[in-house]
């Protein structure tokens, strides 16, 4: 009788340790999945930021090109005014929208 009781106690102890091991490995696997998700999310955010950066550079280059075109056009009109002394042409140049004011 005592022997059966000891065998039963050993069997329950063995089952409990197996349950603890299974739960431990499950928690470890869940933690690994969670860490992988966090790392993937951060990598994805960095990728999106890196794709956004060249777009911003292209926008600035386009704005600089527009400013250079405006300056070239203004110089040509100033030369034309210097040659013709046409005041109407000069007033139209002064009142024209300048993209340099909005450059940031």
Distance (Å, whole) CA 96 – CA 76: 14
Structurally, how many domains does the chain consist of? 1
Domain limits at 29?
2-102
pLDDT in tens, the chain (104 residues): 556 566 766 777 777 788 888 999 999 999 999 999 999 999 999 988 887 776 777 888 888 888 888 888 878 877 877 888 777 666 655 555 555 555 44
Alpha helix (H) residue ranges in the chain: 2-84, 87-95
Residue 27 has which token pair? 């928690």
Distance (Å, whole) CA 44 – CA 51: 11
Spatial CA neighbour of 78 closest among 90, 69, 66, 64: 90
């Amino acid at each position: 009788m005592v022997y059966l009781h000891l065998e039963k106690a050993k069997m329950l102890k063995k089952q409990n340790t197996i349950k603890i091991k299974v739960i431990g490995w499950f928690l470890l696997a869940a933690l690994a999945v969670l860490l992988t998700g966090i790392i993937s999310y951060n990598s994805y955010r960095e990728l999106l930021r890196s794709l956004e950066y060249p777009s911003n550079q292209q926008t600035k280059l386009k704005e600089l090109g527009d400013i250079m075109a405006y300056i070239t056009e203004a110089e040509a009109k100033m030369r034309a005014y210097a040659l013709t002394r046409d005041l109407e042409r000069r007033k139209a140049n002064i009142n024209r929208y300048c993209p340099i004011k909005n450059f940031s």
